[in-house]
């Protein structure tokens, strides 16, 4: 559902896209990690593979080649430093005695690469697929040698081939008892990219191919309801994250019946005047609308050839900008559970602002729509 509101001019869209790239690169830690949000209490000091992979993809698309490469170097370092743990996880799974969730890799790391002392909803597998997909897309986009990230990609493939079918927390760090369709499709994206790029070969490439095919098959059999992708296996709901499987991940063809039905279902169930909710029963900060999800739906629309619908989501996202030029994690214009907002403000303070992932998705869609053209972004490639 799209609204008729005053359009934001192309220059203003382009300015916001450019300042978003600068904001992201200026906040990147010397280690290469991107903070999720520099000032938000619960996220401060941490970098997520999920957020970071999409952030790197966004700035890569705008020409910030070195910044994205340094993030992938950091991901690889996180994996290489945990090589023996990955080996234990893989061997235990192969022996039919999979290790418990608390022995799996974490979801976020401190900027310096530690696991941090704060409790978190760890064990989420999506980011280990998404970063591989983003690194391969980055190498392809800029003609870089994927060999630079071969070790990290190999370790990710081993880890995912051993863990892909396990229930785990989703993108929203909820429902650890389910197998989430978005998570599976992020893993498929990573495994297929690893094979395509020839970063892995031999038995490892066979394992990647096998796991990706099995995950696709599982989605087809149990992750589709009424012709569209569903939130988790067996669910009848959708989730805003599903747009990403269509674009930017590109694992579901936007013009296929499944792609078209999924775009329609996300739009019908979760889009209110261009602003997209995470899912219909969301209560986090009252369940507002997320600019990054509007941009992902916009990317899916662009991939399906519907430019006006894509531009409307970019415009909606632009209207969420604060006077300081920051894009928030969510806005409270249309809340699904208004009575649940105050408890989060009390617990963690105001909504995370700026959220680098929001800025990155804005950039990614702006580039896709030609609002800005990729440029050298003031750095050496």
Residues that bind ligand BGC (CB under 6 A): 36, 43, 48, 50-51, 171-173, 357
* Shortest Cβ 348–ligand BGC spacing (Å): 9
* Shortest Cβ 317–ligand BGC spacing (Å): 16
Cβ 232 vs Cβ 200: under 8 Å: no
Give the integer Cα–Cα distance in Å for 311 and 374: 18
| 9/350 with CB nearer ligand BGC | 350
91 catalytic? Reply is: no
11 catalytic? Reply is: no
| 127/259 with CB nearer ligand BGC | 127
Catalytic one among 122, 126, 170, 239? 170
Q: Which residues contact 78 (CB under 8 A, 6 or more apart)?
A: 49, 109, 113, 152
173 catalytic? Reply is: yes
Cβ 47 vs Cβ 2: under 8 Å: no
Residue nearest to ligand BGC (CB): 36
| 63/129 with CB nearer ligand BGC | 129
**For 75-122, where are the E strands, in sequence order?**
108-110
Catalytic one among 122, 173, 192, 282? 173
Q: Tell me the HSE value of 50 on the side-chain side, using a 13 A CA sphere.
A: 23
| 37/67 with CB nearer ligand BGC | 37
Neighbours of 346 (CB within 10 A): 8
* Shortest Cβ 2–ligand BGC spacing (Å): 25
Three-state SS string across 222-281, please?
A: HCEECCEECCECCCCCCCHHHHHHHCCCCCCCCCCHHHHHHHHHHHHHHEECCEECCCCC
Give the integer Cα–Cα distance in Å for 14 and 291: 16
* Shortest Cβ 50–ligand BGC spacing (Å): 5
Residues labelled as active-site residues? 170, 173, 329
């Amino acid at each position: 559902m799209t609204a008729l509101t005053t359009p934001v001019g192309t220059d203003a869209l382009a300015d916001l896209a450019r300042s978003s790239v600068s904001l992201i690169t200026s906040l990147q830690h010397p280690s290469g990690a991107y903070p999720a949000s520099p000032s938000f209490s619960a996220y401060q000091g941490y970098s997520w593979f999920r957020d970071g992979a999409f952030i790197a993809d966004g700035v890569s698309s705008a020409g910030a080649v070195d910044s994205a490469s340094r993030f992938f170097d950091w991901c690889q370092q996180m994996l290489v430093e945990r090589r023996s743990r990955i080996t234990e996880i893989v061997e235990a799974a192969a022996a039919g005695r999979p290790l418990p969730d608390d022995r799996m890799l974490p979801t976020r790391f401190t900027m310096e690469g530690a696991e941090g002392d704060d409790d978190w909803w760890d064990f989420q597998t999506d980011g280990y697929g998404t970063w591989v997909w983003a690194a391969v897309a980055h190498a392809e986009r800029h003609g870089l040698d994927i060999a630079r990230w071969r070790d990290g990609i190999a370790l990710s493939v081993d880890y995912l081939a051993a863990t892909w079918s396990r229930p785990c927390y989703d993108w929203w760090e909820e429902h650890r008892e389910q197998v989430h369709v978005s998570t599976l499709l992020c893993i498929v994206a990573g495994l297929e990219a690893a094979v395509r790029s020839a970063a892995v070969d031999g038995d490892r490439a066979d394992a990647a191919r096998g796991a990706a095919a099995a995950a696709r098959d599982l989605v087809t059999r149990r992750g589709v309801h009424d012709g569209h992708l569903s939130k988790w296996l067996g669910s009848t709901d959708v989730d805003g994250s599903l747009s990403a499987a269509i674009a930017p991940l590109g694992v579901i063809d936007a013009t296929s019946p499944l792609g078209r039905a999924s775009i329609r279902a996300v739009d019908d169930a979760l889009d209110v005047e261009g602003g997209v909710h995470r899912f219909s029963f969301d209560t986090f900060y009252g369940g507002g609308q997320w600019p990054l999800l509007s941009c992902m739906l916009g990317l899916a629309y662009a991939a399906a050839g519907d430019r006006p619908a894509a531009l409307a989501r970019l415009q909606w996202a632009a209207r969420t900008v604060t006077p300081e030029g920051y894009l928030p994690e969510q806005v409270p214009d249309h809340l699904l559970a208004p009575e649940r907002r105050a408890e989060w403000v009390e617990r963690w303070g105001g909504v995370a602002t700026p959220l680098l992932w929001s800025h990155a998705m804005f950039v990614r869609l702006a580039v896709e729509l030609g609002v800005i053209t990729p440029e050298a972004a003031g750095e050496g490639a």
